[in-house]
Amino acid sequence: MVLSGCTSSGVNTAEDRYEGYIFNCINEYGLHSRSNIIDKANRVYVFYAGSNLVDVFFSRGDVGDFTARSPDYEGLLYCGGVVNKDFDIYQIKYAKSSKDLFRRPGFEVGAVNANTCGLAKVRWYTLNGGKLEYKDEKRFDCWK
């Protein structure tokens, strides 16, 4: 997996810290897996609320939060991190597995949980050929 080929473009490129979080997740994933599942991803969703926790979710096709769910939708990878001085990743796992590829103790909930329903927001990006493009942001409905 070569991150140097990844670039950013789109509507919201000025100092988009969330794009940096996405790239950090890609890099950390590369340290814990030899699989190239990121190559299948063409959508990225970043969830955050009023805390310093951020969830990043990679998928193939639209999950259904911004547009209709893609008939070929496939959840691929979850990455959880905490925003301190940097973006410190505490968990990486495949979307279809309960087994963690990487987990740092002390973090039991992510950005979206029962306490953040109605407060959490989600940002939507497309990922094509190593190019990340911001599409939209909205409040995330946990109860859908």
CB-CB contact of 49 with 20 (8 Å)? no
**To the nearest whole percent, how much of the chain has pLDDT over 90?**
55
* Mean pLDDT over the full length of the chain: 84
Both tokens of residue 46? 């970043």
Q: Which of 84, 101, 82, 141 is nearest to 117 (CA)?
A: 141
Burial 17-52 (b: 16+ CB within 10 A, else e): ebbebbbbbbebbeeebeeebbeebbbbbbbbbebe
Cα–Cα distance between 92 and 122 in angstroms, integer? 18
| pLDDT tens digits along 40-52 | 999 999 999 877 8
Residues 6+ apart with CB under 8 A from 97: none
Both tokens of residue 76? 């691929």
Residues in the chain: 144
**To the nearest whole percent, how much of the chain has pLDDT over 70?**
83
**Mean of pLDDT values over 64-90:** 92
CB-CB contact of 137 with 120 (8 Å)? no
**The whole model's pTM is what?**
0.84
Write phi, then psi, for 19 (nearest 5 degrees). Answer: -65, -40
pLDDT number for residue 114: 65
